[in-house]
Amino acid sequence: MEKSRIRKSMLARLKGLSVEEREVWSVWACQVICQQEAYQRASTIATFLSMPHEVDTSYLIAQAKQDGKQVVVPKVYGKGRMVFVPYDANDLALSTFGVWEPRSDEVIDPSEIDIIHVPGLAWNEAGYRIGYGGGFYDRYLLDYQGMTVSTICDFQRYEFSEEEFDQAVREVVCYETTD
């Protein structure tokens, strides 16, 4: 199955989750990440600002801030360029992609980020993912040396062949849904 069909199928499945299912998954994801040794040692963590069908990262952001960690979130520019900037809930704007992102241009060097929580739609057994098609994370992760983790629902595991430019996530943690 080609990537566009996998994306469409996963988006439909994610959008079909109830509010309650998404909340349970989101709380679980926060707990799983916060229990990791890489998180506990980290001073700076990166996560994404979730869309309504994704795992809700607001739980992780709140916990990381409470734990005294710097939280950084992605900001996308043209030509596939993505950077991470400090998270400030009062300094966000809706991007042309329909995603909230920071207004700030204060770029945090990748070497300062200890762990990146990576979004996507489907992951294979080797940790390669199908995202939304822009290649932003694959380009960013190409030279990133820190820890990467994704928190997915069981139905997001999907067998597909990665392409040469794809970058694997180091740890994919899977939430078992009830259906």
Domains of the chain, each with CATH number or no CATH: 3-175 (3.40.50.10420)
Q: Establish whether 131 is an annotated binding residue.
A: yes
Q: Establish whether 87 is an annotated binding residue.
A: no
Q: Establish whether 134 is an annotated binding residue.
A: yes
Q: Establish whether 5 is an annotated binding residue.
A: yes
Enter the tokens of residue 178: 């009830």
- The secondary structure of residue 46, as a DSSP letter, is E
Question: Which pLDDT does position 179 carry in this prediction?
Answer: 59
Write out the E strands in the chain.
Answer: 44-46, 70-76, 82-86, 92-94, 100-102, 115-117, 122-123, 129-130, 147-153, 171-175
Q: Establish whether 77 is an annotated binding residue.
A: no
> What are the 10-residue block averages of pLDDT along the chain, 179 residues in total?
90 95 96 96 97 96 98 91 96 89 96 98 96 93 96 95 93 86
What is the reported pTM?
A: 0.95
Q: Establish whether 158 is an annotated binding residue.
A: no
- The secondary structure of residue 163, as a DSSP letter, is P
Q: Establish whether 129 is an annotated binding residue.
A: yes
How far apart CA 121 and CA 125 sit, in angstroms, is 14
How far apart CA 37 and CA 87 sit, in angstroms, is 23
Question: Which pLDDT does position 78 carry in this prediction?
Answer: 79
Q: Establish whether 48 is an annotated binding residue.
A: no
Question: Which pLDDT does position 174 carry in this prediction?
Answer: 94
- What's the sign of the alpha-carbon dihedral 43, 49, 54, 60? positive
